[in-house]
Structure 1
């Protein structure tokens, strides 16, 4: 049955559009299925992809780690989602306490990407000291713009978690098959990075995350297909979330944005066949996770579409949509 859902990914691998792909599906009754094809690496040495390989999950970090941690801390009464970030980061824009707009941003604003902050900024070009770059993020007067999906929102949330817990993000237990790098098993290669002068393999692909120390709120998480499916199963059966956390990730706050996640809409990466009660998220390296609560099914499509370079067309949007629609019709 899963072979039908994996057909588009297998075809993309065979055609050379992506090096490798893994599809994992979990149902609410506990059944699982996994298929893998292609290569974990093409250069500098070829390596066949297996179920045991760890993928750089990229922005899936935002939902599997950061959103989960923030909502857990809120459940524990250690933060109020509708209070400003300054409750955790009092030195945010500390030289402009009276009028800095950044000081009025709330945890919920950042989770739902309903801020004025830019989508991304080349933070790694401003220096090489992680602590100094964190200080730069906190004291920078960010340019204002329309509400967009923003890495900066989650970099700030990651710093807030570190302040509230007194520990790095990597100290938070996320479960087997999930963790910040370097991973404990074989790793999937991502890009041949011109800035770092090597193929990224077992090191985080995202330049800003790398420069900030490798574990941030927006990126840095690695995972196996089994680790991602375990997380998804905890959402499907409710064992990984409380009722208030579940409501937060399923309730739209701005257009299709919930706390951390996207909710299904026409044309999105999850395809148009899933139910209206589906949430999902993608990662730049070629990863994605979708959870359909009405149908009782979740699926993750993990690829290394940026290997050996991001600067080519891989058809990842069409592949994700085709896969999601096939899964929804199993």
Structure 2
């Protein structure tokens, strides 16, 4: 099964579009298939990829960590998803009580239904994490015409979690094989960063996350294939309450649920999966998808930005091809 599902990734590696890839598939009944190929690093020293390597999960952090934390806090009655962020961050835009940002709710940010911009180079404003957090909270963000997927939404959610729990995000129990960096084992290399002047390996790729201290709501989580699969299997087998499951499966805005995407035409998970499939991708070349109808989840972990993001890795066709191949192989069992 796993060989057929891995065929698109193996072709991408052979064509030198990506250095390496790991694919893991898990079913609700506990069956698990994992394979890998290629290189964890090409430069400065070649390093073969193993199943023990940690990947920078990039924006997959948003669903495995931040969304789960927010929904757990809501489940415990510590926050209300439909309350404004100011219930946790009273100093948000504190110099303008009528500011747009002060009316945003947790659910708005989870579903990316705000008018906040997609991203901004926050790291260019300084290198003091506390000061940059203050900048995020006090900045008058330029409102865009209609909602887009926004890192700023999840930066705010991460700060809210820190305020409610009184601890950094890394203090949250994430489970074996998941950790904010630096990871406790061998890491795949990502980009030769122009800002930091080196190939990144075991340190977060996202510049804003790095400048903010490496633990933010939008990025910073590292994971092994086993850690990601353990999380996905937990979602399929009862780790989430009914309310949490409802939140991640129910559309909130267009194809977005609380944190996740649902299947839609042309999405990253392919078209062979059921309509009850959710997923999320990460800029470094990672992704996780969960098909509730089939009781099946798969993760494709690559280092497609190594040694540079400025290259057509083909990741946007590789992901759906892998999803379709995984479902086809599953149906053939």
TM-score by length of 2: 0.98
- Determine helix, strand or coil for the equivalent of 2:318: helix
Query: Counterpart of 1:304?
Result: 303
- State how far apart, in whole Å, the 2-side matches of 1:296 and 1:96 are: 48
Query: Counterpart of 1:252?
Result: 251
Shift of the alpha carbon at 1:71? Answer: 0.2
- State how far apart, in whole Å, the 2-side matches of 1:263 and 1:243 are: 18
Shift of the alpha carbon at 1:317? Answer: 1.0
- State how far apart, in whole Å, the 1-side matches of 2:77 and 2:253 are: 24
RMSD: 0.4
- State how far apart, in whole Å, the 1-side matches of 2:92 and 2:165 are: 17
Residue 17 (1) aligns with residue 21 (2): no
**Count of residues in correspondence between the two structures:** 328
Query: Counterpart of 1:190?
Result: 190
Query: Counterpart of 1:81?
Result: 81
Residue 276 (1) aligns with residue 269 (2): no
- State how far apart, in whole Å, the 1-side matches of 2:163 and 2:55 are: 28
Q: What pairs up with 1:203-242 in 2 under 5 angstroms?
A: 203-238=203-238, 240-242=239-241
- Determine helix, strand or coil for the equivalent of 1:153: helix
Shift of the alpha carbon at 1:28? Answer: 1.1
Shift of the alpha carbon at 1:237? Answer: 1.2
Query: Counterpart of 1:170?
Result: 170
Shift of the alpha carbon at 1:9? Answer: 0.2
- State how far apart, in whole Å, the 2-side matches of 1:176 and 1:43 are: 29
- State how far apart, in whole Å, the 2-side matches of 1:267 and 1:92 are: 37
Query: Counterpart of 1:35?
Result: 35
- Determine helix, strand or coil for the equivalent of 1:91: coil
- Determine helix, strand or coil for the equivalent of 1:329: helix
Query: Counterpart of 1:316?
Result: 315
Q: What pairs up with 1:79-158 in 2 under 5 angstroms?
A: 79-97=79-97, 99-145=98-144, 146-158=146-158
| Gaps in structure 1 of 5+ consecutive residues | none
Query: Counterpart of 1:57?
Result: 57
Query: Counterpart of 1:2?
Result: 2
Query: Counterpart of 2:159?
Result: 159
Instruction: Find runs of 4+ consecutive structure 1 residues off by over 4 angstroms.
Output: none
- State how far apart, in whole Å, the 1-side matches of 2:194 and 2:100 are: 36
- State how far apart, in whole Å, the 1-side matches of 2:137 and 2:104 are: 12
TM-score by length of 1: 0.99
